[in-house]
A and B are shown apart, each in its own frame.
Chain A
C-alpha cells in the first residue's frame, strides 16, 4: 500500500516564477492538506481540499492556490515566488475515522528553494 507521494522532491526557482507541486494521497484517503515548513519551524497549515473543493485555508496569500482532482490527488501552485517561499512543502492525507479525530499521513515533502 503506497503512502503519500509527492513530486518533485527538490525544486529550484527564481523570484517571480511560478511553481506547481503534486501530491497523491494514501489509498482510501479523500482529504488532502498542504503545509509549509520553514527551516527550524513546525509545519504551517496552508489549505485543505475535500471533494475537489478548498474546504479551509490558513493565513497564506492568494498567491498560493490549489486543486484536487477526482482521483483525490492534489496540486499546490505558488505564483510570483518570493525568497521567503523557500521551504519544505508537505502534503498530508486523511480520512474521517470514528470519533472524528483523524490522524494525518504526510509525504516526504518537496524542498523548494527560491533564488
Chain B
C-alpha cells in the first residue's frame, strides 16, 4: 500500500540556518505534492505545490524539490526565523494522479523549532 514518511518527528535548528525537511513516498507515483504548515490548534495552511515535471519551486524563503526517481521531496526554509516554528506536512493526492481533486494523503508531519 502507498505510504508517506517525513524525515523525523522533530527538527531543531538555530535562527538564520536553513531547515531541510524530507518527504519520502513508496508504492505510487504522485502527479504532484503539496506542502502545508500547521500551527497548534489550527488547520493546515497551503504553502507550495510542485508537479512531477518540475524539479524545483520557490516562494520567498521557501524552496521545494521533487525527485521522482528517489521518490522524495525536499522542503527548504532559508534564513529561518523563530516564527517559522510549526509542523510541516507533505501531501500528495490520495489516488496518486490527482484525478479526485482535494483528496490528499498527509504524512505525519515534521515539527520544526527554530531557536534564537
Contact = CB atoms under 8 A, between A and B. Distances in A.
B108 A41 contact: yes
Contact of A103 (B41, B46, B94, B105): B46
Contacts of B104: 43, 45, 104
A33 B102 contact: yes
B43 A48 contact: no
Q: How large is the interface on A (under 10, 10 to 19, 20 to 34, 35 or more residues)?
A: 20 to 34
B37 to A, nearest CB: 11
Contacts of A28: none
Given A31-B101, A100-B98, A101-B51, A44 B46 contact: no
B46 A55 contact: no
Nearest to B93: A101
A48 B94 CA distance: 12
Interface of A: 4, 31, 33, 35, 40-45, 48, 55-56, 58, 90, 92, 94, 96, 100-109, 111
